[in-house]
A and B are shown apart, each in its own frame.
Chain A
Amino acid sequence: MITKEYTITSPQGLHARPATALIRLVKNFISVISIQKGEKITRLNSMINLLSMTIKGGETITIIIEGEDEINAAEALGLFFAEQLKEL
């Protein structure tokens, strides 16, 4: 299992556009990937659940990855949160 913390760099937070991109990215992996903010945790396969967490810009979240391709998944998600998110 890989656990990593990220700060949300898109000003509007994880609103529809970045959330769509994130859900799409996660679909490429067979690992079970979840997102945690405070007490709340949800699998990253549902837009509804992800949007329901109302993750705002500047907030810190934790990504939990477990599965065969977890190393590749962690790398892709790291890139997403560090680089791509800003542009979404």
Chain B
Amino acid sequence: MEKINGTGVSPGIAIGKAFVIKKAEVAVSGILLKGENEVIANVAAFNNAIEVAVNELEVIKLSLAGTDFEILETQIELISDPQIAEDVIEKIQSERKTANDAVIEVIANVVEVFESMDDEYMRARTADIKDIGSRILKHLNNTKTNTARFKPDSIIIADDLSPSDTITMDIKHVNGFATRTGSKTSHAAIIAKAKGIPAVVGCGDSLSTIQNDDVIILDGTSGLLYIDPAEETINEFRLKSEIQKQQSEKLKALKNRPAITTDGKKVMLSANISGAADMDDVHENGGEGIGLFRTELLFMDRTSFPTEDEQFKFYKQAALQSKGKPVIVRTIDIGGDKQLPYFNIPAELNPFLGYRAIRICLDQTDLFITQLKAILRAGVFGDLLIMFPMISNIQEVRAAKNILEKAKEELLAENIPFKANMKVGIMIEIPSAAVTADILAKEVDFFSIGTNDLCQYTLAVDRMNEKITHLYDPFNPGVLRLINNILEQGRKHHIHVGMCGEMAGDPLAALLLLGMGLEEFSMSASSIPTIKNTIINHSEADAKQVYRAVMTMDSSDEITAYLKAQFV
């Protein structure tokens, strides 16, 4: 039995037979065409390949009937793009390149253009361009990969799965898939997770040893693949898969049980939401509050800023549906990667280091005061708290609080009811704020650690840049020390500290954070049962030991290996 290690991106165990998808070799032949006849033949072959490719996509579209239409429509437009055709034919005619070589070169050029764009969305489109390139080449060279039909109980083994591969996949017959390349954010990973298919990506070259019909066990939780396992191993995993299914049922049953460790330490498990609509899910999973209510949704998909009344209704809705649980409302966090159509922020070289969030609010106070008034008014209908994002120093906190006071004065003058003593907190997501937590604690009622940005800023890693995702690591001792400092200062100054970044929902981090003294974990609602299960099955004393051990370690490799070992 052979074992292959990759990144598990969609949990669950799949057992089945390998179905290997081989991509056509894309290589420039370097052959130059001789004579006009060959030129004409190559142009014709190219035009034919386009026609066949479009027809193929149209057929897939018909068979899909509705659902994932749009990606295919875009693919059809891209594949029949006159600019690509013009460039390819130009290369065949004047440079005497073969249709194959011309397509490879033209696609490579377009990919290069898109890769160099300063727009994250457009850079991500290179996957679509590469996808249409391989589609054209496939028909040009008559190499057929049929992803639409699989035998029952297939485990797909592929280099990478393109957008059109993944959506055309007949998932009734697919038990799981594994790819050579890819990361947690690749198309294949996202679709697998959404459809609940166990998947492992980034397996590396060892995946090429797998042959069609090899028996495979795929563990999407640990990221392991077992090839041709013994009968007993298969049985062992069948059992494990059964247990996992039962466990997820059991986790749901934890809904009404408080998150208390075996030695009596109570922590709060909350959820992150984007609107009142998410509230059902929070109650369903036993969330005890809202650690982060993102308000951006209200500002998107419109042509002008929402009025105070519109905002008031939006926050009030959430307050009413919170069933008395505390809701931390974050003031608007636009800029960076979040733009509004009616609010033009000129392009910046480093938008994440630029004009965003509280920086905009303190500059354009009208906009800020409108939101604050709406939140204060909604506070009458539920336990709302207010939180400012992207704080880097104490002046910003004071300025924001002054504006909040002004908002209260205006409401008072207008004789509109509002919650006067609303608690005020800040996100700690900039390293300077983490280091000066002792200073900032004097001005606020609570902290919430935003690990995503804190990690990005501390490690100088753009979290959108795929080439450096391995450096984006919340278990880096530098990040852990900052988090530890925030918690320590919070305790010392008697203010509540929560965490609303992705780390709060990471089961691997749960014990460590508990040991550090984190009081509130806020995550996507669906992660709550898993974290709760970890909390109720461990003691605070154990967690403290984990924390002390981790703080002596010198690398995230050592730390994550140690944390993984705690679960065996």
Q: Do A and B come from one complex?
A: yes
**How far apart are the CA atoms of A45 and B83 in the complex, in Å?**
8
A16 touches B82 (CB 8 A): no
A8 touches B341 (CB 8 A): yes
A58 touches B77 (CB 8 A): no
**Closest CB-CB distance, B133 to chain A, in whole Å?**
12
Q: Which 5 A-B pairs have the closest CB atoms?
A: A57-B341, A46-B83, A58-B341, A58-B344, A16-B74
**How far apart are the CA atoms of A51 and B121 in the complex, in Å?**
10
**Closest CB-CB distance, B348 to chain A, in whole Å?**
13
Question: Do A48 and B81 form a contact, CB below 8 Å, given A11-B300, A20-B74?
Answer: yes
B341 touches A11 (CB 8 A): yes
Question: Do A57 and B340 form a contact, CB below 8 Å, given A48-B84, A51-B122, A86-B303?
Answer: yes
A-contacting 9-mer, from B109-117, B180-188, B191-199: B109-117
Q: Which residues of A contact B77 (CB under 8 A)?
A: 19-20, 23-24, 47
- Interface-central residue, A23, A46, A48, by most chain B CB under 10 Å: A48
Chain B residue with Cβ nearest A60: B344
Q: B interface, how many residues as a size bin?
A: 20 to 34
B81 touches A54 (CB 8 A): no
B519 at the interface (CB under 8 A from A): no
Residues in B392-444 with C-beta less than 8 Å from chain A = none
Chain B residue with Cβ nearest A42: B83
A52 touches B113 (CB 8 A): yes
Question: Do A58 and B343 form a contact, CB below 8 Å, given A46-B83, A47-B81?
Answer: yes
B232 at the interface (CB under 8 A from A): no
**Closest CB-CB distance, A46 to chain B, in whole Å?**
4
**How far apart are the CA atoms of A35 and B549 in the complex, in Å?**
61
B530 at the interface (CB under 8 A from A): no
Q: Which residues of B contact A15 (CB under 8 A)?
A: 121-122
B128 touches A10 (CB 8 A): no
Chain B residue with Cβ nearest A45: B82
**Closest CB-CB distance, B9 to chain A, in whole Å?**
23
Chain A residue with Cβ nearest B70: A17
A12 at the interface (CB under 8 A from B): yes
B78 touches A48 (CB 8 A): yes
Q: Which residues of A contact B343 (CB under 8 A)?
A: 58
Chain B residue with Cβ nearest A88: B70
Question: Do A9 and B339 form a contact, CB below 8 Å, given A20-B73, A48-B110, A54-B119?
Answer: no
**How far apart are the CA atoms of A57 and B344 in the complex, in Å?**
8
Question: Do A51 and B344 form a contact, CB below 8 Å, given A9-B303, A16-B128?
Answer: no
B78-92 vs A, CB cutoff 8 Å, 1 = contact: the mask equals: 100111100000000
Chain A residue with Cβ nearest B106: A48
**Closest CB-CB distance, B82 to chain A, in whole Å?**
5
A49 touches B83 (CB 8 A): yes
A37 at the interface (CB under 8 A from B): no
**How far apart are the CA atoms of A56 and B83 in the complex, in Å?**
22
Question: Do A58 and B339 form a contact, CB below 8 Å, given A16-B125, A48-B110?
Answer: yes
A68 at the interface (CB under 8 A from B): no
B78 touches A56 (CB 8 A): no
**How far apart are the CA atoms of A19 and B110 in the complex, in Å?**
17
Q: Which residues of B contact A54 (CB under 8 A)?
A: 117-119, 122
Q: Which residues of B contact A69 (CB under 8 A)?
A: none
Report 10 cross-chain contacts, Cβ distance below 8 Å, ordered by A residue.
A8-B341, A9-B303, A11-B301, A12-B121, A16-B74, A17-B74, A47-B77, A48-B84, A52-B117, A86-B301
A42-86 vs B, CB cutoff 8 Å, 1 = contact: the mask equals: 000111110110101111000000000000000000000000001
**How far apart are the CA atoms of A17 and B84 in the complex, in Å?**
19
B339 touches A11 (CB 8 A): yes
**Closest CB-CB distance, B347 to chain A, in whole Å?**
8
**How far apart are the CA atoms of A51 and B118 in the complex, in Å?**
13
Q: Which residues of B contact A46 (CB under 8 A)?
A: 81-84
**Closest CB-CB distance, B140 to chain A, in whole Å?**
19
**Closest CB-CB distance, B61 to chain A, in whole Å?**
13
**How far apart are the CA atoms of A56 and B340 in the complex, in Å?**
9
Q: Which residues of A contact B129 (CB under 8 A)?
A: 48
B83 touches A48 (CB 8 A): yes
Q: Which residues of A contact B303 (CB under 8 A)?
A: 9, 86
Chain B residue with Cβ nearest A16: B74
Chain A residue with Cβ nearest B299: A11
A11-34 vs B, CB cutoff 8 Å, 1 = contact: the mask equals: 111011101100110000000000
**How far apart are the CA atoms of A17 and B77 in the complex, in Å?**
11
A51 touches B114 (CB 8 A): yes
Task: Choose among A13, A45, A47 the residue that contacts B78 (Cβ–Cβ < 8 A).
Answer: A47
